Structure 1
């Protein structure tokens, strides 16, 4: 893969991790929250590993099935897509 792809994936995973941390802090303070769609989108655009790490590290959104099941499924789909593109095409 191109180095730019690695830089992109690193950046989007860091972003997802940070978003989960910010949202957890806002939840504790009863402040304006980051929309769930934004958190899910950060996983969909390539930050699923960072989202999972953020969920575990900050203990945030781990009880919601949309996140507890959805984000790992997104990661598996992304891994399968990379595998298919890398080895089958």
Structure 2
């Protein structure tokens, strides 16, 4: 059970961090300042930050018209869900033994 709590906490922290980075990137875009690399946004999404990324995209209307970016974003979501599902399976399997 503690593994699930850690996993949920990690999702929460990464979501918050990713959301804040989307906010900073949108602000930089408006002011013409240096931007966050798209690859960085994708890595954050892949490592459990996709909920914050999705919220940032919707709330700030950021990166919502770039089809290639969105395709890669949804790929990171799918890969993350598959990986986390496997981790949960392993944690559940370990508890049964």
Task: Identify the TM-score tier after normalising by the shorter chain.
Answer: 0.7 to 0.9
Q: TM-score scaled to structure 2, two decimals?
A: 0.77
Residue 87 of structure 1 and its aligned partner are, at CA, apart by 4.2
- Which runs of no fewer than 5 residues in structure 2 stay unpaired? none
Aligned length: 89
2:73 is aligned to: 71
* Paired residues of 2:42 and 2:76 also in contact (CA < 8 A): no
Larger helix proportion of the pair: 2
Q: Which has the larger radius of gyration?
A: 2
- Which runs of no fewer than 5 residues in structure 1 stay unpaired? none
Q: TM-score scaled to structure 1, two decimals?
A: 0.83
* Paired residues of 2:25 and 2:36 also in contact (CA < 8 A): yes
2:53 is aligned to: 51
Distance 1:20 1:52, change over 3 A: same
Q: Quote the RMSD (CA, aligned, Å).
A: 1.9
Q: 2:56 and 2:40 mapped to 1: Cα distance?
A: 14
1:37 aligns with 2:39: yes
Distance 1:47 1:85, change over 3 A: same
